[in-house]
Amino acid sequence: EAQVTQNPRYLITVTGKKLTVTCSQNMNHEYMSWYRQDPGLGLRQIYYSMNVEVTDKGDVPEGYKVSRKEKRNFPLILESPSPNQTSLYFCASSRALSYEQYFGPGTRLTVT
């Protein structure tokens, strides 16, 4: 089954404790992206990647890091999480030419 998976689905952590949210897709997609969704602000793009070792900033990259060492994986790293990073995070992937994104199930992160 074609899918985008994210782990964990739910995470409660404390300020400053480094965390990684994993994202993996099995569709051989070139384009992968991370979004955060907040009430009243909609979906905002954090980072995206056009292919292995090619990443670029989206609209709200501050406080986040990504890497793309393998085509299927695109982890999101919060090195020192803060309460304003409490949000619902989505990973998405698509073929590079079509941009028809498939979204993962989401990760709800709470930073206290």
Partner 1 sequence: QKEVEQNSGPLSVPEGAIASLNCTYSDRGSQSFFWYRQYSGKSPELIMFIYSNGDKEDGRFTAQLNKASQYVSLLIRDSQPSDSATYLCAGLTGNQFYFGTGTSLTVIP
Tell me whether residue 35 or residue 74 sits nearer to partner 1 (CB atom): 35
Nearer to partner 1, 17 or 64 (CB): 64
Q: Which residue, among 60, 59, 58, has the nearest Cα to 50 in the 3D structure?
A: 58
The phi and psi torsions of 34 (rounded to 5 degrees) equal -120, 140
The residues near 42 (Cβ < 8 Å, ≥ 6 apart) are: none
The 10 Å Cβ neighbour count of residue 70 is: 10
How far is residue 62's CA from residue 70's CA, in Å, rounded to a whole number?
Answer: 23
Residue nearer to partner 1 on the CB measure, 18 or 99 = 99
Q: Which of 53, 59, 70, 79 binds partner 1 (CB under 8 A)?
A: 59
The region of 10-18, 20-28, 65-73, 99-107 touching partner 1 under the rule CB under 8 A is: 99-107
Q: Rule CB under 8 A: choose which of 50, 52, 63, 77 binds partner 1.
A: 50
Q: For partner 1, which is the closer residue by CB, 15 or 71?
A: 71
Distance of alpha carbon 43 from alpha carbon 65, whole angstroms = 18
- Residues near partner 1, by CB under 8 A: 31, 33, 35, 40-45, 48, 50, 56, 58-59, 90, 99-106
